[in-house]
Amino acid sequence: MQDDDKRTVVVTGGSRGIGRAICLSFAGPDTRIYFNYFSPVDPDAEKAAADETEKLVADAGGSAKGLSVNVASQEEIIDFFKKVIDETGRIDVLVNNAGITKDGFLVRMKESDWDAVMDINLKGAFRCIKIAARAMMKQRFGRIINLASIVGVTGNAGQANYVASKAGIIGLTKTAAKELASRNVTVNAIAPGFIETDMTESLPDDVKKAMLSQIPLGRAGKPEDIASVIAFLASEKASYITGQVIHVSGGMYI
């Protein structure tokens, strides 16, 4: 059943953290949201988190469907987008948010940790863009927003794999923007600084304190600080912005 008045929004990694706030920022009667999540460690907890995102979106007057889909699996991603297109006939917005860290100093970093981070953070975004862009080009409309990171620009000791994946996201964003602009598809990246989520919660207290001291606005960011900029980039008001990296970091990078 298709309803052409509604926008279809796809968010990767929407079960918690920034991804959940992104889903909420799109919640409303005119939007259908599809998000995915994937945790091989505790599937029951992740399913509960995804159910909570669905509930929060419904409470805000919207609809969201969360599916366990690994962005590192080409087959699962193909099936996921096929379902979205079969059910809605279009993809208006894609937010590539799913990401992980596997930190360690370069000389001790395991090749498997390098590969896992690149496969989810960078190649996962490539897989999703490749499929969504085809639908967007046909529609002559689309908005793609990729989650980079401040460290993809500055570098960060202990995060060679993560930093390389986020620097790669920036290059991917700029190239996709150039390739898709003629079809009215914009592609931008957000570079968050230090945002309060599970990803940063696990950092040691001294590291958190040191990061806070580098933020001119004097506070860590909240997932909503990122989500509101993404909602803007997906809106008609941002139709003349493409290929940009928007830093949302409280001035951590100036």
Which residues bind to ligand NAP, rule: CB under 6 A? 12-13, 15-19, 36-39, 46, 49, 70-72, 97-100, 120, 147, 149, 192, 194-195, 197-200
35 or 141: CB nearest ligand NAP = 35
Note the residue count of the chain: 254
Active site residue 240: no
Determine which one of 34, 37, 162, 240 is catalytic: 162
Q: Which of 88, 80, 95, 87 is nearest to 21 (CA)?
A: 95
139 or 253: CB nearest ligand NAP = 253
Angle of the 74-88 helix axis to the 123-139 helix axis, nearest 10: 30
Token digits of residue 28 = 């409303």
Q: What angle do CA 151, 132, 34 make, to 5 degrees?
A: 85
Q: Please tell me whether residue 220 adopts helix, strand or coil conformation.
A: coil
Backbone phi and psi for residue 109, each to the nearest 5 degrees, phi listed first: -70, 130
20 or 32: CB nearest ligand NAP = 20
Q: d(Cα 168, Cα 129) in Å, to the nearest integer?
A: 14
Which residues are catalytic, by number? 162
